[in-house]
A and B are shown apart, each in its own frame.
Chain A
């Protein structure tokens, strides 16, 4: 079972990820999946988006959005497995898979955004 300090950290990441997933991701989905394809807004060009990616704060923003959302998923999915499937006795395996998945996704996002050098 996770100790108090790790639970506090994991819940903080879950909570921050919830805010990101609920507020920011819908904005991106609305813009890139609905508003731009439907022609409601003029879409930015490919070159413009690539230039945006050169800005460090844009990369940090994307990194946090990916990482925190993954930790939100990990915490929620962990308890969904505990309570939904009632497999709390597999705690260590579930804990490792959920948060390990979030860490792996975070590392992968960091690698892609950190090593991106443009087209």
Chain B
């Protein structure tokens, strides 16, 4: 492990720059330091204008995602010592495929619009009276969706997905995995609403199952698997709607409701 490492960071200020340019910063390497510690060192000791997002420092808030040596990573969970061989330079960049606001800060509005579109909350067609008490779930029912509920919206999967890069209107891995999280929840009754939004060429059918989203997920969610499950469900729903006229009618009603 070397004593020091040079970080290459793109600097961009919309008021000053036409496009990002790289600047180099030499930082000390401590065994327990993560990439975020190096960025905090630069901001505190070298250049206070360096701009980046971070909050919890423990892989929960999902705000410090960056391209570290070309890979989407949480900078708070990526040890500097892994890259600090003698003479090495480490390139830290904003997440790929997102517009850049400033330095390492990306614009997330488009992601938030996509996230809201899949209705990632519990939907009930009818609410039972409070006197019936809380909704109970068995451990097996919890297990159905628990994996997908670990998503922290860090958007690393978007930076890893080549389909997002080629087709910006693609809904993307995290939003579909979160839709699946609520579909699988025994308390939810909104799977039809979400299917109407996602069974679309820019939804689940846009995914070509590259699988990079699952590989880079820091919380071990499997968005690629969720999308394949969704495709199977959509295909079976289509067969059902084709075979049973009632099923088709219900699907059409849900679709119209979701489009309103």
Contact = CB atoms under 8 A, between A and B. Distances in A.
Interface of A: 1-2, 4-5, 7-9, 11-12, 15, 79, 82-83, 86, 88
Interface stretch (B44-52, B61-69, B197-205): B197-205
A6 B200 CA distance: 10
A19 B238 CA distance: 21
A2 B208 contact: no
B163 A83 contact: yes
Contacts of B163: 83
B200 A4 contact: yes
B235 interface: yes
A86 B166 contact: yes
Contacts of B208: 79, 83
With most chain A CB atoms within 10 A of its CB, the pick from B167, B201, B239 is B201
Nearest to B234: A8
Contact of B235 (A8, A79, A82): A8
A88 B167 contact: yes
B238 A5 contact: yes
A7 B166 contact: no
Contacts of B234: 4, 8
Nearest to A75: B208
30 contacts: A1-B201, A2-B201, A2-B205, A4-B200, A4-B201, A4-B205, A4-B238, A5-B238, A7-B199, A7-B201, A7-B205, A8-B237, A8-B239, A9-B235, A9-B238, A11-B205, A11-B231, A11-B235, A12-B235, A15-B231, A15-B232, A15-B235, A79-B208, A82-B166, A83-B162, A83-B163, A83-B166, A83-B208, A86-B166, A88-B166
A79 B163 CA distance: 10
A8 B199 contact: yes
B232 to A, nearest CB: 8
Contacts of A15: 231-232, 235
B189 to A, nearest CB: 21
Query: 8 smallest A-B Cβ distances: which pairs?
Result: A8-B238, A7-B205, A8-B235, A12-B235, A79-B208, A4-B199, A1-B201, A8-B234
Contacts of B166: 82-83, 86, 88
Contacts of B238: 4-5, 8-9
A7 B239 CA distance: 12
A2 B208 CA distance: 15
A24 to B, nearest CB: 21
A11 to B, nearest CB: 6
Interface string B151-163: 0000000000011
Contacts of A7: 199, 201, 205
Nearest to B238: A8
B236 to A, nearest CB: 9
A8 B203 CA distance: 12
Nearest to B200: A4
Interface in B183-219: 199-201, 205, 208
Nearest to A79: B208
Contacts of A5: 238, 242
Interface centre among A2, A7, A79, A88 (most CB of B within 10 A): A7
